[in-house]
Amino acid sequence: MEINDKKIELNISKAKNGHQAAFSFLLDSFWANVYNYQLKRTRSENDAEDITIQTFSKAFDKIHTFDDRYVFKTWLITISKNVHIDLLRKKNASILAETTIEQEEKVYLVADENPTPEDKIIREQNLAKLLRDIKQLKPKYQEVIQLRYFQELSYKEISKQINEPMNNVKVKLLRAKKLLAEIIKKN
């Protein structure tokens, strides 16, 4: 389609004043130029189309900044090139950067540290045994072990809870652990 320069200038002027038909004329007139330029750069019809759409969107948003001393097609191509460069930068900076097959295969070599069902059963059995052993202690020792290791209270918090000085708590806990170790060894 032969586009005459006067008609282009007239439609650019109308577009600057917000005339919708002028935008359509410019889009129809230059779509193929921008699209083909991007198709050569990206070698992807989808990418070329997306970039072309973004190019016209940016161009039409900034149409009032277009200087009539320049060629409109060149201005569009420059915008298109910049849109493409921005997309490449975002793609390279993305967390979801493309990976090689080797990198993807390495992911499967990472050990899974989550407990297996067997591990869970063993842990539960060990915990049950430990609780039976703890029940063999005197109640005062059971209490400090429970507060420290199962409720994860600090010495200070245990001291407040059982209303005893912190040094007493430390001594009781040491004594409870020593007695518990003896019970475990015996069993």
The tally of CA atoms less than 13 A away on the side-chain side of residue 60 is 21
Per-residue model confidence as pLDDT tens digits over 26-55: 999 999 999 999 999 999 998 999 899 889
| Residue range(s) defining the domain that contains residue 90 | 5-99
User: Could you tell me if 95 and 143 lie in one domain?
Assistant: no
Whether residues 59 and 121 fall in one domain: no
Of all residues in the chain, the percent with pLDDT exceeding 90 is: 45
Same domain, 47 and 129: no
pLDDT in tens, 70-129: 899 999 999 999 999 998 888 776 655 556 677 667 766 666 677 778 878 888 888 888
Instruction: Report yes or no on 104 lying in a domain.
Output: no
CATH of the domain at 133: 1.10.10.10
**Residue at which a domain ends, from 99, 129, 160:** 99
CA distance 72 to 62: 13
Domain contains 112: no
**Residue 13: both structure tokens together:** 């002027």
Q: Is 88 helix (H, G, I), strand (E, B) or coil?
A: helix
- Do residues 16 and 8 make contact, with C-beta atoms less than 8 angstroms apart? no
pTM over 0.75: no
Q: Are 121 and 93 found together in one domain?
A: no
Report the amino acid identity of residue 102. E
Is 110 part of a structural domain of the chain? no
- Asked, for residue 105, whether it belongs to a domain, the answer is no
- Is the same domain home to 123 and 53? no
Domain assignment present for residue 27? The answer is yes
